[in-house]
């Protein structure tokens, strides 16, 4: 019978009653966290196969890096420790959206622990560049290490983190396995897991037990995710309050656009197959309201050529951000094909269609347009933020559309500043319960409890 990692005995206990981490580091014996050993459940068939596959992938990456310069080679190198002498926390987010949403967490950590050093990692170059642009003192920013044992050991040896913070659904098995083996507490914030992903984990139970057993504390994004993590074996005492980080990020001041806000529609984070529907709807609405303008911001700017072709097929004139053009009131469409400027587009649009929802991609969160007071339009596919959209639709804080005809009708109905204000006010009321402030405070308390003296200041800050 396999033993759950959470029930395995600690790797060692000092005479002072503190459990000892590899390398002589300790954390308080009062912590509920145990150190997962390097044998037993970590050696399940699923985990052994995963480790072998990651070893092969790592070998391939090393060969590629040896043959020619390649930005991704950064994933294989040990990080440069951040400047300073304080404890280190490793924070990881997949890309721009997750890391931008994590800014309240970073701010709370730095406020609670002024001497704290951060190692922030991202899967994408754009995510890494976003955080580097914040110029945070005492912070090292880099691409996330590849999930093979050799690379991760070098990373952990160099960074020596007191804790690992994972944003949303970045549950990499080797990363969590090695963190747990070294007694590094793992905190998952705004954790989200779909029914499809939960089903996939259930089909590899050995790997699932290893990953779930490595989690010290988890704040789920919604009740459905909470129930799925619980069903996968996460104990109740490791589950914190609901946390929706993107609701806490708030709006950022942005330069105004030349087009009137009330007649400007932003199609945000659109996916393949979606732009054609949006453009057809906009063209239909434009025939009735020639003063309408569209800002089209695809989720992945690398799809630029595909989206440009869709605009041409629709017979609409446009300017392109990546070519250096600014929005032009004389042109009906503006292609916002860059990263890091979404706040400007949200601020300049009285209406926002949130992409990934007319095609089955689960949608994107409504918090960014709501923070800017932009009226929200969405398709029916919103599984990634279902509770928030349910609250919005029930309160009249969003309009659901299903095709080009219904989207065109919604655009025409909202192309009025008074209608936009009414809907934005309803959205603000509907989304108020999703604030992350209390959940972030609960995280800081859990962080202090699980790490002990290295991050004890966090507990003092929470109690103050």
User: Dihedrals φ, ψ of 220, to 5°?
Assistant: -75, 155
Residue pLDDT, tens place only, 366-378: 988 988 889 999 9
The structure tokens 């949608």 sit at 363
Q: How far apart are CA 45 and CA 43, in angstroms?
A: 6
Mean predicted confidence (pLDDT) in 226-243 = 92
Q: Is the pLDDT of residue 442 over 70?
A: yes
* Annotated active-site residue in 18, 98, 168, 450: 98
Q: Is the pLDDT of residue 329 over 90?
A: no
Mean predicted confidence (pLDDT) in 230-237 = 94
- The predicted pLDDT at position 377 comes to 98
Q: Is the pLDDT of residue 172 over 50?
A: yes
Mean predicted confidence (pLDDT) in 211-226 = 91
Residue pLDDT, tens place only, 62-115: 888 778 787 878 889 888 888 888 899 999 999 888 898 888 889 888 888 888
Could you tell me which residue, 358 or 24, shows the higher pLDDT? 358
- The predicted pLDDT at position 281 comes to 98
Known catalytic residue: 98?
Answer: yes
- The predicted pLDDT at position 463 comes to 43
37 pLDDT band, cuts 50/70/90, is very low
- The predicted pLDDT at position 233 comes to 95
- Residue-averaged pLDDT of the chain: 84
- The predicted pLDDT at position 436 comes to 67
The secondary structure of the chain in percent helix, strand, coil, rounded to multiples of 5, reads 50, 15, 35
For the chain, percent of residues with pLDDT exceeding 70: 85
- Sequence-distant (6+) residues with CB within 8 A of 99 are 93, 120, 122, 127, 130, 131, 167
- The predicted pLDDT at position 83 comes to 86
Mean predicted confidence (pLDDT) in 173-195 = 93
Give strand ranges (E) for 238-299: 264-270, 293-298
Residue pLDDT, tens place only, 134-161: 889 999 999 999 999 999 999 999 999 9
Q: How far apart are CA 365 and CA 376, in angstroms?
A: 11
Q: How far apart are CA 211 and CA 203, in angstroms?
A: 14
452 pLDDT band, cuts 50/70/90, is low
CB 405 within 8 A of CB 281: yes
Fold match, 5-248+437-463 / 261-434: yes
- The predicted pLDDT at position 435 comes to 66
Q: What CATH code is assigned to 5-248+437-463?
A: 3.40.50.11720
Cβ-based neighbour number of residue 1 at 10 Å: 2
- Is residue 173 packed enough to be buried (19+ CB in 10 Å), middle (13-18) or exposed (0-12)? buried
User: Of the ranges 25-34, 124-133, 275-284, which is most confident?
Assistant: 275-284
- The predicted pLDDT at position 38 comes to 38
122 pLDDT band, cuts 50/70/90, is very high
Residue pLDDT, tens place only, 245-265: 876 555 555 667 888 999 999
57 pLDDT band, cuts 50/70/90, is confident
Q: Is the pLDDT of residue 359 over 70?
A: yes
Sequence ranges of the domains in the chain = 5-248+437-463, 261-434
Sign of CA dihedral 431, 440, 10, 204: positive
Q: Which CATH number fits domain 261-434: 3.40.50.2000, 2.20.25.90, 3.60.15.10, 3.40.930.10?
A: 3.40.50.2000
1 pLDDT band, cuts 50/70/90, is very low
Q: Is the pLDDT of residue 12 over 70?
A: no
456 pLDDT band, cuts 50/70/90, is low
Could you tell me which residue, 28 or 342, shows the higher pLDDT? 342
Helices (H), 19-138: 45-67, 96-101, 103-112, 125-132
Least confident of 2-11, 44-53, 180-189: 2-11
Mean predicted confidence (pLDDT) in 443-449 = 83
Q: Is the pLDDT of residue 2 over 50?
A: no
- The predicted model scores a pTM of 0.64
Residue pLDDT, tens place only, 13-22: 333 333 333 3
């Amino acid at each position: 019978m396999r033993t759950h990692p959470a029930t395995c005995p600690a790797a060692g206990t000092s005479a002072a009653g503190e459990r000892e981490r590899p390398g002589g580091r300790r954390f308080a014996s009062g912590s509920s966290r145990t150190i997962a050993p390097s044998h037993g459940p970590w050696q399940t068939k699923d985990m052994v196969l995963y480790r072998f596959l990651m070893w092969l992938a790592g070998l391939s990456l090393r060969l590629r890096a040896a043959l020619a310069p390649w930005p991704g080679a950064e994933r294989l190198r040990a990080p440069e420790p951040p400047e300073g002498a304080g404890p280190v926390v490793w924070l990881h987010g997949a890309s721009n959206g997750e890391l931008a949403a994590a800014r309240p967490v970073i701010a709370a950590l730095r406020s609670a622990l002024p001497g704290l050093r951060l190692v922030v990692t991202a899967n994408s170059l754009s995510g890494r560049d976003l955080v580097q642009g914040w110029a945070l003192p005492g912070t090292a920013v880099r691409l996330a290490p590849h999930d093979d044992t050799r690379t991760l050991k070098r990373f952990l040896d160099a960074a020596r983190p007191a804790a690992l913070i994972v944003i949303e659904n970045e549950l990499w098995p080797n990363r969590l396995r090695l963190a747990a083996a070294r007694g590094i507490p793992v905190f998952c914030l705004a954790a989200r897991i779909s029914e499809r992903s939960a089903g996939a984990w259930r089909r590899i139970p050995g790997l699932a037990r290893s990953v779930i057993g490595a989690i010290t504390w988890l704040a789920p994004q919604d009740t459905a995710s909470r129930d799925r993590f619980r069903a996968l074996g996460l104990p109740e005492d490791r589950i914190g309050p609901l946390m929706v980080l993107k609701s806490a990020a708030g709006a950022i001041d942005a330069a105004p656009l030349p087009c009137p806000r009330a007649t400007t529609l932003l199609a945000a984070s659109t996916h393949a197959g979606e732009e054609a529907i949006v453009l057809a709807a906009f063209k239909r609405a434009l025939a009735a309201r020639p003063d309408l303008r569209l800002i089209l911001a695809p989720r992945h700017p690398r799809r630029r050529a595909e989206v440009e072709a869709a605009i041409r097929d629709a017979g609409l004139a446009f300017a392109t951000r990546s070519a250096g053009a600014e929005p032009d009131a004389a042109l009906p469409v503006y292609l916002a094909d860059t990263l890091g400027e979404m706040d400007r587009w949200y601020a300049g649009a009285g209406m926002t269609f949130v992409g990934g929802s007319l095609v089955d991609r689960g949608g994107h969160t409504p918090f960014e347009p709501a923070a800017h007071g932009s009226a929200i339009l969405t398709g029916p596919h919103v599984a990634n933020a279902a509770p928030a959209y349910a609250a919005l639709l029930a309160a009249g804080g969003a309009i659901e559309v299903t095709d080009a005809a219904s989207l065109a009708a919604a655009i025409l109905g909202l192309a009025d500043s008074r209608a936009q204000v009414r809907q934005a006010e309803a959205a603000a009321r509907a989304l108020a319960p999703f604030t992350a402030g209390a959940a972030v405070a609960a995280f800081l308390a859990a962080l202090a409890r699980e790490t002990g003296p290295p991050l004890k200041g966090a507990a003092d800050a929470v109690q103050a």
